[in-house]
Structure 1
Amino acid sequence: MGQFGFTGLVCGLLLSLAAAEDGFAGWLRYAPIPCDTSCLQRLPSKLTLLNATTGSPIETAGLELISGLQSIFSQNLTTTQSRCDESSSILVATVEDFRHECNATTAIPELVQDGFWLRSTGSSVQILGQSARGALYGAYEYLSLLAQGNFSHVAYSSNPHAPIRWVNQWDNMDGVIERGYGGLSIFFKNGRVVDDLAPVKQYARLLASIRINGLIVNNVNANATLLSAENMRGLGRIADVCRPYGVRIGVSLNFASPETLGGLDTFDPLDATVVNWWNNITNSLYEHVPDLAGYLVKADSEGQPGPSTYNRTLSQGANLFARALQPHGGILMFRAFVYDSNLNESDWKADRAKAAVQYFKNLDGEFEENAVVQIKYGPIDFQVREPVSPLFANLFETNTAIELEVSQEYLGQQNHLVYLPPLWKTILNFDLRVDHKPSLVRDIISGERFNRTLGGWAAVVNVGTNTTWLGSHIAMSNLYAYGRLAWCPTDDSERILHDWTRLTFGTNSQVINTITNISMASWPAYEQYSGNLGIQTLTDILYTHYGPNPASQDNNGWGQWTRADHETVGMDRTVGNGTGYTGQYPTEIAQRFEYLNSTPDDLVLWFHHVPWTHRLHSGKTVIQHFYDAHYAGAETAQTFVSQWESLRGLVDKERYDAVLDRLVYQAGHSIVWRDAVNNFYFNMTGIPDQKRRVGQHPWRIEAESMELDGYRLYTVSPFETASNGTAIVTSSNSTTGTARTTLHFPASTYDIGVNYYDMYGGESHWTLSLNDQVVGEWIGNMRNHTLGNSVSIYLDGHSATRVIFRGVKVQKGDELKIVGRPDGVEPAPVDYVVLLPSGVVD
């Protein structure tokens, strides 16, 4: 590239770094760090790139280093033609080019594919990669150190844990993202690839900086029109944008495409015309994308077509694609998420958790060498806690990869802060003890344990057009951590969080400590107030997968059952009396989970069906643990708000306000969760809370008990998602409603909360007043604009929320009034009012 073009790209990067703190830069902000004259003198002033061909990752490394040092230190790097000058210079090259060009005899540790060597002795820096992509990773590593204020002299090598480090986008051709909570697709719109790929370029930068090397651009529930000639050209444009960052793109395929798109009368994987059709499609794709990473296929799962239509095996279906890819060096990722969605709960032996092993175990060794079975971390579906999928311990001659989820489908959909690495670590560090030998999951997926050639990582990531990428600034810590763990799964979750926080929010110790405290407490808290003891998240699995609905877990064919009744709860998955699921594990693990006394409390209801009065290892009964955990989790969520507020003035206003809004929402919604689950099981069992909290709310005023004008009572379903099962709604969608009451609380200063419902399809307006003096007003626009979760058109656990007005002085006998003005289909619904004395959570 000529000097003009090189400079132009650098200027473009610098301009993007100077933009507002809207989240678009992610952890690549490269915020300025104070650096005096002596500090600057210790920094490199020159840059040498070996074999920096146009569009190569080596050239990209140079661009990133120039823009990064300029942004962090206002230091101008000058490119030099001196091939191997080490004085006050950064040298970037592959090991091969370095040794050839510089006649170097430097002892460099052995590097595997994509590995790098970084040596910094102050103003002299060497960044050497096993490949050009590895050199780029080394450049990002060096910039990360500088951006965190780390000027240490270093000399170390770094190698990837596994060759496959991919992300899976669930973007649809119309631009909508399945499980998308951060806006529309950055890849597709109206059935075709978008024209403006600038966001894709920035996304590729972010992925490369955390050493992700593969990007599946479309939904696993694939639309065959992706394979049209126009869209193949579009895929070529996406690949061109990602290639300089070492990110290879791949695509998800619809198994029935030969019929639906190709006009054949079959999609039988063993039919010669089908084989030929896929070979031609694959050849065409590689003409447009010569470095296509490969394919991702979801087949015979959740209504998707597959080889079973023709009585073919899953391995025969997978090998159709694997063989088409082989001449091009592509990889076939085949999802193990196959199960019967029409199970009969009255069958005590029926168990969705057994499906993966049942479908895949007997096919071990039948998959082509470039095929990888992609296995969800647990046997159900991204739950808040699951045991490790036993399929990892049943495939010895098949490449495997773990599937994680950044997109928080069942875990608060990025409205709730849930830092996921501690959850992931429970799986990655689990020892399956295959043949009574160490068999950590992380060593199985790397290929090391069973001596496999391929393996690694995939994560469902729902980045969208929202400038925060995921809809939430804090949620980006999960994407960053995924890349870090995919490279090195032994990295510490808290250390990763520290690095991400310094890069994203700065080096202030209070900011780092506060974000760390909140984030590390977030997964335990969410587990407590959603679903615990291994019962799963208790979210609504029949509608939006977001808010509470314990009843939805049972009496359906999906198999995410709790088997709860008024006396007992939990799935019996034992061999002795249950579904036999425990027998899918190696002997040592099977024996641990087969018996109640050796099953840990946090998975007891996953493996055992027990009375509500069963005493856990903790000494509590199951039902009392439920009550206590849900209160404890909600109380923890309240602390997130005050902790974040301590950072006022230490975090830029734009991001401070955005994060605060989410944490305030989470605090309110955690109470919706707490009450819904506790009330549901109290109603089911009739067993009271020993601490007399469940159903007892002395600081609440039920909306239906107020004097109503223009409002009427409404029975909420499910009942537990409203206090006392009842809310109020306006008499019509054009009628303003008023609810008033006289307060009988002691004179004091209170925080006044109003629990209401923010439905999709309307933006109602409410005003809260005391003695006709307005305390506050709000609009129900979260579901339409502010939040990104799957929306609800009902009064339920998804739309239930709370608004808080702080520090309100109240006298006994004051009149409290709520005026609600409906909009659209939203009838200004209200559940209750709560007056909170200092320190009270209700």
Structure 2
Amino acid sequence: MMIDEMWLQKNKLKKLLSQEVFFLDLVKEDAVSLRLRKELIEWLGLTVSTDRAQATIVLVVNPELSVNAEAYEIQENLIKGASSSGLLYGFYNFLRLKLRGKKLEESSEPSQALRMINHWDQVDGTIERGYAGESIFFGTPGSNDNTDTGSFALREIKGDIFRNDFTRLEMYGRFLASIGINAISLNNVNVRGLGTNLIVSPYIEKVGEIARLFSGFGIKTFLSINWAAPRLIGGLRTSDPLDEAVCAWWKKVIGHIYDVVPDFGGFVVKADSEGEPGPYQYGRNHADGANMLAESFAPHGGLVIWRTFVYNSQTDWRNRKNDRAKAAYENFMALDGDFADNVILQIKFGPIDFGVREPLMPLFGALKKTNQMMEFQVTAEYLGHQIDLNYVLPQWLEIIHTDNYGLAKDTVKENSPLAANSGFVAIGNVGMDENWCGNKLAQANFYGFGRMCWNNDLTAAEILREWLDMTFVDVDERAKKTIYELLMTSNQTYEAYTTPLAIGNMIVPHYHYGPSINGYEYDRWGSYHFADRNGLGVDRTMVTGTGYSGLYAPELAEIYEDINKTPDELILFFHFVNYDHLLHNGKTLIQTIYDLHFEGYNKVLEFQKSWQALEGKIDEITFRNVSQRLELQVQNAKNWRDQINTYFYRMSGVEDKYGRKIFN
């Protein structure tokens, strides 16, 4: 099997650099500098000299370059790093500039301190919400069957739970480091079965092997834990965070982890959420739980990353004052300042769950005394399953530039007591598929997340052009322009034919692909649209609704409180809107619904036509891969168009202004 080299194509790079001689001027050797030597000599097969006078390109570690150890500077034939990690980043960015034919001058340091990928990989090789094959960490060698059976229960495991494909993991580490990722968690936050045992022998030893590989790329390794581990595998009768025996058990386990993995990053914790155990079971709060673990990590420099995705997953749909959007704020805002310095709250960028369109989570800007990370989702759970084209950087960048007591990209670090313990994190989208992401073009979101983390001020267009230039090196500019135009409009298009105006989930329950308008409407998950014969939307105002709009800074709350000031893109998230209400676009709500779904479907047909014109202009594997997915996307968009328009025509009784076909 040929494994896709994504944006780091060895032969292209080797050809560009074959005449160069490299010299490394290091303060000392460490795991990262040794990896840099391997990248030059073993990966690219380049010449490294011990004589500086013979070198055409010099790589230097200079601690005086910046107080930020990850900073680098590129000056033609000189690459400087404030540390070995900074030098490694400088080298990869030198490759980016070289491959794109750009001027070899750049000084940079990361916008965010922690730049992390969470994996939702399970020890049986499956990936929860994975759309690119099986886990690269776990599973049977040679197996890549990751069919979604409608259940997250683990399959039978025979023998070693680890895949042990270190060639693939080395490639992955290279990809991560090349876009600036410096932390990774290996396993699903819903920790099931043997996944609970990853923190103890004999499994932690294999985790240690993986961690040592990633350490060379400047990447810290984390594990997700099951809160009930003391009871499930520790022989205790409780997991109460204030129980002395529980505290002692965790201290012993964490101490042993550091004996095996000296630079272990820490734990990622999902507790009291969607049926997972947590401190609430014992009458404790989340600070009690997080701080108990943090105390055991403190001597080792480890972190506790505590997810705020905590809400009542047994919501009564009959009560319109119930509002899942408020849950994280209500559970964590009162605890601001109560968490230890080595605890970080991992907070989803929006208040529901990585939706097609959501506002900024109001905890960003409101929390002033707690370390925090903003969480994104690269894997396309709600955004097309890496079948439908959806370059999501425009959505993410809009979120981080939202002003709620300051721009979110800034308040994440400015409001963290220790800026070093803050940053961005995303759920990864890679698997064992040959192209890593299922859809070749979904690689752009993987690349884009890392680049956004490193430089918050890059635009979606700039990031996409980088990825295209590095991925489609031999493709002519007209063909690259076609792919660029497809991807730059893909997020807006997906939104148009699915659930525009921020109405929320109308998707097939559990699978989260395809339309099911009332699939969640009378369910327990707290995601409702409240459509009736008069209109639809959720009243989240302070005067007549759930009061959610009042959680924002006064300037933003004033906008969201007023139906006439709320942007069209978010109007159904904050208001119940009558079908005949005129939006800012000059059209009624019902006509806007019709128009967007017709336009979205037509745009997908244009995508397909544009892609077909690329046959023979790009490699055959990529052409077929995307063509197959576009066929599925056309069907998906058609289903969305017809079901949504028919449903709301039946609800409203209002004809389409243009007389287009709507089924009745």
TM-score of the superposition, structure 1-length normalised?
0.74
d(CA) in 2 for partners of 1:127, 1:555? 59
Does residue 146 (structure 1) correspond to residue 113 (structure 2)? The answer is: no
1:538-553 → structure 2 map (5 Å cutoff): 538-540=506-508, 542-553=509-520
d(CA) in 1 for partners of 2:416, 2:344? 15
Tell me the equivalent position of 1:349.
Answer: 321
Question: How far 1:193 moved relative to its partner?
Answer: 2.3
Tell me the equivalent position of 2:178.
Answer: 209
d(CA) in 2 for partners of 1:341, 1:113? 43
Question: How far 1:126 moved relative to its partner?
Answer: 2.0
CA contact (8 A) 2:131 2:438 kept: yes
Tell me the equivalent position of 2:73.
Answer: 117
Please, which of 525, 532, 536 is the counterpart of residue 500 of structure 2?
532
Question: How far 1:115 moved relative to its partner?
Answer: 1.2
280-289 vs 646-655, which moves further? 646-655
SS in 2 for 1:519: helix
Question: How far 1:88 moved relative to its partner?
Answer: 4.2
Does residue 394 (structure 1) correspond to residue 380 (structure 2)? The answer is: no
365-374 vs 446-455, which moves further? 446-455
Aligned residues: 641
Please, which of 176, 194, 199 is the counterpart of residue 163 of structure 2?
194
Does residue 63 (structure 1) correspond to residue 47 (structure 2)? The answer is: no
d(CA) in 2 for partners of 1:451, 1:372? 10
1:655-666 → structure 2 map (5 Å cutoff): 655-666=622-633
Distance 1:345 1:687, change over 3 A: same
Tell me the equivalent position of 1:403.
Answer: 375
Tell me the equivalent position of 1:8.
Answer: none
Tell me the equivalent position of 2:143.
Answer: none
Tell me the equivalent position of 1:821.
Answer: none
1:235-314 → structure 2 map (5 Å cutoff): 235-314=207-286
d(CA) in 2 for partners of 1:34, 1:171? 34
Tell me the equivalent position of 1:474.
Answer: 441
Distance 1:383 1:511, change over 3 A: same
Does residue 611 (structure 1) correspond to residue 605 (structure 2)? The answer is: no
Distance 1:31 1:423, change over 3 A: farther
Tell me the equivalent position of 1:742.
Answer: none
Distance 1:661 1:536, change over 3 A: same
CA contact (8 A) 1:192 1:230 kept: no
Does residue 233 (structure 1) correspond to residue 205 (structure 2)? The answer is: yes
Please, which of 274, 279, 288 is the counterpart of residue 316 of structure 1?
288
1:548-563 → structure 2 map (5 Å cutoff): 548-563=515-530
d(CA) in 1 for partners of 2:137, 2:510? 27
Question: How far 1:597 moved relative to its partner?
Answer: 1.0
Tell me the equivalent position of 1:78.
Answer: 47
Tell me the equivalent position of 2:21.
Answer: 45
Distance 1:129 1:238, change over 3 A: same
1:681-720 → structure 2 map (5 Å cutoff): 681-695=648-662
Distance 1:31 1:668, change over 3 A: farther
Cα deviation digits, residues 613-652 of structure 1 (max 9, x gap): 2111112111111110001011111111121222222211
236-245 vs 184-193, which moves further? 184-193
Tell me the equivalent position of 1:677.
Answer: 644
CA contact (8 A) 1:192 1:226 kept: no
Cα deviation digits, residues 694-733 of structure 1 (max 9, x gap): 426xxxxxxxxxxxxxxxxxxxxxxxxxxx8xxxxxxxxx
d(CA) in 1 for partners of 2:321, 2:284? 26
Choose between structure 1 and 2 for higher RCO, CA contacts under 8 A separated by at least 6 residues: 2
d(CA) in 2 for partners of 1:281, 1:68? 37
d(CA) in 1 for partners of 2:524, 2:535? 21
CA contact (8 A) 2:199 2:223 kept: no
Tell me the equivalent position of 1:181.
Answer: 131
SS in 2 for 1:566: coil
Structure with bigger strand share is 1
Question: How far 1:392 moved relative to its partner?
Answer: 0.9
Question: How far 1:572 moved relative to its partner?
Answer: 0.3
1:476-555 → structure 2 map (5 Å cutoff): 476-506=443-473, 508-540=476-508, 542-555=509-522
Structure 1: gaps (5+ residues): 1-18, 71-76, 97-107, 697-723, 725-842
Does residue 423 (structure 1) correspond to residue 403 (structure 2)? The answer is: no
d(CA) in 1 for partners of 2:538, 2:414? 33
60-69 vs 271-280, which moves further? 60-69
SS in 2 for 1:474: helix
d(CA) in 1 for partners of 2:424, 2:488? 23
CA contact (8 A) 2:368 2:415 kept: no
Structure 2: gaps (5+ residues): 140-156
Question: How far 1:68 moved relative to its partner?
Answer: 7.0
CA contact (8 A) 2:49 2:55 kept: no
Cα deviation digits, residues 81-133 of structure 1 (max 9, x gap): 22x43x6422223214xxxxxxxxxxx6524031112221xxxx222222211
Q: Which amino acid in 2 is paired with 1:375?
A: I
d(CA) in 1 for partners of 2:101, 2:73? 20
CA contact (8 A) 1:463 1:469 kept: yes
Structure with bigger helix share is 2
Distance 1:425 1:230, change over 3 A: same
Question: How far 1:543 moved relative to its partner?
Answer: 2.8
SS in 2 for 1:93: strand
Does residue 591 (structure 1) correspond to residue 591 (structure 2)? The answer is: no
d(CA) in 1 for partners of 2:176, 2:466? 16
Question: How far 1:592 moved relative to its partner?
Answer: 0.9
Tell me the equivalent position of 1:627.
Answer: 594
Q: Which of 1 and 2 has greater Rg?
A: 1
Question: How far 1:147 moved relative to its partner?
Answer: 1.6
CA contact (8 A) 2:14 2:44 kept: no
SS in 2 for 1:188: coil
SS in 1 for 2:627: helix
Question: How far 1:211 moved relative to its partner?
Answer: 0.9
Please, which of 389, 404, 408 is the counterpart of residue 441 of structure 1?
408
Q: Which amino acid in 2 is paired with 1:510?
A: R
Question: How far 1:353 moved relative to its partner?
Answer: 0.2
Does residue 379 (structure 1) correspond to residue 351 (structure 2)? The answer is: yes
d(CA) in 2 for partners of 1:241, 1:112? 24
Q: Which amino acid in 2 is paired with 1:65?
A: L
Q: Which amino acid in 2 is paired with 1:110?
A: S
Cα deviation digits, residues 346-379 of structure 1 (max 9, x gap): 2221100000110000000000001110110100
Does residue 135 (structure 1) correspond to residue 104 (structure 2)? The answer is: no
CA contact (8 A) 1:45 1:88 kept: yes
d(CA) in 2 for partners of 1:649, 1:34? 26
d(CA) in 1 for partners of 2:118, 2:130? 12
Distance 1:602 1:139, change over 3 A: same
Does residue 126 (structure 1) correspond to residue 78 (structure 2)? The answer is: yes
Q: Which amino acid in 2 is paired with 1:28?
A: L
d(CA) in 1 for partners of 2:547, 2:279? 27
Question: How far 1:565 moved relative to its partner?
Answer: 1.0
Distance 1:163 1:342, change over 3 A: same
Tell me the equivalent position of 1:764.
Answer: none
d(CA) in 1 for partners of 2:108, 2:224? 31
Please, which of 22, 25, 36 is the counterpart of residue 5 of structure 2?
25
Q: Which amino acid in 2 is paired with 1:406?
A: V
Identity over the aligned pairs, expressed in percent?
37
SS in 2 for 1:605: helix
SS in 2 for 1:597: coil
Question: How far 1:40 moved relative to its partner?
Answer: 7.8
Q: Which amino acid in 1 is paired with 2:50?
A: Q
